[in-house]
């Protein structure tokens, strides 16, 4: 009896407040089966084109092949590959902004699920744990949550691996990277992270919301490898 009551209640709620796409607000079909994004928004996401850097996933707009970019050739990063839910544009950019700056934490779950599917589909890497890029404690206090951790949660659930939030910490409060030149970005983040202990994990998936020049994830991965981790792969919602 309780089950039929619950079903009837859920149907009435759906009738009064039909489920809507978290990105554009349009009503979701009744058979949306717990989808949070509508078909239009999902199809508008630009996934990484075939032409991108084999390592850092930097898109090559004027090329048709996969190879290493100049930056990765000059300064080989400590990570082996970057997975991304999509290019940092359109609804992915909008969603990351709302998650990060407008407290819309409910977006983290569907974005993390999208990203988790991409990591899983790549198929050849089973991390021992997932490490979200940490915020400085002051920034965390201001924002109230770490968006990278919120995105990491559904990925951890999907891959069935633990999240480690205690291993990597941000010890320097750095000014935002926007508006800085490439060299300034690198200097800005030098020694910004450290390890609280010697990592027992050999393979780590590092998760962040967005990757632009990649200096943040480069520095995190460098710190993890210096600590003895064998391989780090990176997963980001948006790749600029
Ligand atoms: Zn939509
Ligand atoms: Zn590259």
Distance 15 CA to ligand 1 centre (A): 19
Which helix (H) or strand (E) is 6 found in, with range?
helix 2-16
CA distance to 55, 60, 65, 77, 218, per residue, from 68 (Å): 6, 10, 10, 11, 16
Residue that the structure tokens 């291993």 belong to: 167
Ligand 2 centroid distance, CA of 115 (Å): 20
Q: What is the pLDDT of residue 168?
A: 98
pLDDT surpassing 90 at residue 57? yes
Q: What is the pTM of this model?
A: 0.89
Is the model more confident about 181 or about 16?
181
Q: How far is the CA of 76 from the centre of ligand 2 (A)?
A: 8
Cα 28 to the center of its chain, rounded Å = 25
Distance 240 CA to ligand 2 centre (A): 12
Q: Compute the average pLDDT of residues 96-105.
A: 96
Quote the ligand 1 centre to 18 CA distance (angstroms).
Answer: 14
pLDDT at 32: 61
- Over the chain, what is the mean pLDDT? 90
21 Cα: distance to centroid of ligand 2 (angstroms): 34
Centre of ligand 2 from the C-alpha of residue 117, in Å: 22
pLDDT digits (tens, 9 = 90+) for 199-238: 999 999 999 999 998 999 999 999 999 999 999 999 999 9
């Amino acid at each position: 009896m309780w089950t039929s009551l619950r079903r009837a209640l859920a149907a009435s709620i759906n009738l009064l407040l039909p489920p809507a796409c978290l990105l554009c607000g349009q009503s979701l079909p009744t058979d949306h089966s717990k989808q949070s994004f509508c078909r239009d928004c999902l199809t508008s996401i630009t996934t990484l084109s075939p032409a991108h850097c084999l390592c850092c996933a930097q898109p090559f707009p004027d090329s048709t092949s996969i190879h290493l970019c100049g930056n990765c050739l000059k300064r080989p990063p400590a990570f082996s590959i970057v997975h991304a839910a999509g290019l940092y544009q359109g609804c992915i950019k909008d969603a990351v902004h709302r998650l990060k700056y407008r407290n819309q934490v409910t977006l983290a779950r569907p974005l993390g699920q999208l990203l988790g599917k991409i990591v899983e589909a790549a198929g050849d890497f089973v991390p021992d744990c997932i490490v979200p890029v940490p915020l400085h404690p002051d920034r965390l206090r201001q924002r109230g949550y770490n968006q990278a951790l919120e995105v990491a949660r559904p990925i951890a659930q999907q891959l069935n691996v633990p999240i480690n939030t205690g291993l990597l910490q941000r010890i320097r409060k750095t000014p935002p990277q926007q508006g800085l030149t490439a060299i300034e970005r690198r200097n800005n983040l030098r020694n910004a992270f450290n390890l609280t202990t010697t990592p027992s994990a050999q393979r780590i998936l590092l998760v962040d919301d967005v990757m632009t020049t990649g200096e943040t994830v480069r520095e995190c991965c460098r710190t993890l490898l210096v600590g003895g981790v064998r391989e780090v792969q990176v997963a980001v919602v948006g790749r600029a």
